[in-house]
Copies of this chain bind each other. A is one copy, B any other.
Amino acid sequence: MSADHREQQPGQQGSRIDPHVDRYALRAQGMVASEVRALFAVASRPEIVSLAGGMPNVAALPLEQIGDLVKDVVSEEGPAALQYGSAQGDPVLREQLCEYMTLEGIDAAPDDVIVTVGSQQALDLITRVFVDPGDVVLTEAPTYVTAINTFAAFQADIRHVSMDEGGVDAGELDEALTRAAREGKPVKFFYTIPNFQNPGGITMTAERRAEVMQVCERHDVLVVEDNPYGLLRYDGQAQPTLYSQGRGNVIYLGSLSKTLSPGLRIGWALAPSAVRAKLVLAAESAMLSHSTFNQLVVRRYLDTFPWREQIKTFNTMYGERRDAMLSSLSALMPRGCTWTEPEGGFFVWATLPEGIDAKAMLPRAVTERVAYVPGTGFYADGRGRASMRLSFCYPTPEQIREGVRRLVGAIEGELDLRDTFGSTLGPSAEGSQAPAADLP
């Protein structure tokens, strides 16, 4: 490959400035920078109320006590904590995670668990183990943005299934599976976030869960159940996990990022034994082993800390924030706006009146000193232009109320524009576009 050869490809994006452009793997073409990344940098300015990121409020943790705990790990278990570990993860921690999962009604064996760098890495390992280029992965629409990125990075054919307020549409899921079978395209798994979905804020009803499991079993398709928010419920009744209804066809993903700390990067997958073995091999080539230090810190935390009480503390705090957001939206949002009413988790999904484009509105919102994530980022196919994800996890109730006031100011400005000039939706409302990466 000569410099001349490269210059003969002026149409290829970046060919003039990246001398390595001809060297990348095909899958690297699916790795694209977020179009709203720049706006996120702006959104982190102190004068902005950010309803964008999904960062938990870790400042609510008892930091002095956790400081003592991490010190004890080093001084009492340092030679182990600072050493390499196994790719599957610490055995004692895996036992504790099984105990943790009993709170979700899951009866699991430690040997079926692999500890991962957040549940994001579990998603990555699963995709790596199952997905050849062109294989179908089904997801809810909308869905978690970095799941889309991961599936795209392994060249999956990502297909969405609609949701209503009871969760994913089981009939449409059935149709999608039937269509893929007719096309002869293997469906590697259906990815779902049944509780307080990111970004929809929707929880799948018990009835819907049973229907979804029947459909997936009939089509012999794996289910990947991502449940980072399950224990953060502020009202209503917990629903049974898909895992506990499955017959060896569900891979369950858990995480301590929302109930303890994302900075420790402790997530896990619970998988049928043969699949778990493959995930461990993939993890070994991905990073040898997770941080033993972090695993022993979390082991000690789960062993010595009143962590169930800590989750209750989080639930009280996040419940107040959710209430602040829902009451502000009810009080202030212009006619024609709709939004979901989550029973837990971190997110509300809001949809704007006809003719308003949430992404086009974002610069105006930032001018009003509020930020959110435009809906298009949560689809692989360019849908979601009228919608946005609003997070209530990080700002205080007062900040949330002020943020919603500012957001409403931006929406009213767009409504004026629409009423004067027509729709603010741009011309390219259809077709694929890069998902917007953001914090989870």
> A interface vs B, CB < 8 Å?
1-2, 14, 17-21, 23-28, 31-33, 53, 55-56, 58-59, 61, 63-64, 66-68, 70-75, 78-85, 117-118, 120-121, 124, 128-132, 135, 146, 149-150, 152-154, 186, 188, 220, 222, 248, 257, 261-265, 272, 274-275, 277-278, 281-282, 284-294, 437, 439-440
Across-interface contacts of A83 in B (CB, < 8 A): 55-56, 58, 261-263
Rounded to whole angstroms, the CA-CA distance of A17 and B66 in the bound complex is 44
8 A-B contact pairs sorted by A residue (CB < 8 Å): A24-B278, A28-B130, A31-B285, A84-B262, A85-B263, A121-B286, A128-B153, A264-B293
Rounded to whole angstroms, the CA-CA distance of A373 and B212 in the bound complex is 49
**Are A149 and B84 closer than 8 Å at their CB atoms?**
no
**Are A263 and B59 closer than 8 Å at their CB atoms?**
no
**Are A263 and B117 closer than 8 Å at their CB atoms?**
no
Across-interface contacts of A289 in B (CB, < 8 A): 265
Rounded to whole angstroms, the CA-CA distance of A188 and B1 in the bound complex is 12
- List 6 other contacts, CB 8 Å, given A25-B154, A263-B292: A25-B129, A63-B78, A82-B261, A117-B287, A128-B153, A265-B290
Across-interface contacts of A293 in B (CB, < 8 A): 261, 263-264, 294
Rounded to whole angstroms, the CA-CA distance of A290 and B33 in the bound complex is 18
**Are B78 and A23 closer than 8 Å at their CB atoms?**
no
**Are B286 and A124 closer than 8 Å at their CB atoms?**
yes
A285 with B150: in contact, given A263-B292, A291-B264 (CB under 8 Å)?
Answer: yes
- Within the complex, the shortest CB–CB distance from A295 to chain B, in Å, comes to 9
**Are A31 and B282 closer than 8 Å at their CB atoms?**
yes
**Are B440 and A288 closer than 8 Å at their CB atoms?**
yes
Across-interface contacts of A33 in B (CB, < 8 A): 277, 281
Across-interface contacts of A81 in B (CB, < 8 A): 263
A20 with B72: in contact, given A58-B78, A82-B264, A281-B33 (CB under 8 Å)?
Answer: no
Rounded to whole angstroms, the CA-CA distance of A425 and B216 in the bound complex is 51
Across-interface contacts of A188 in B (CB, < 8 A): 23, 25
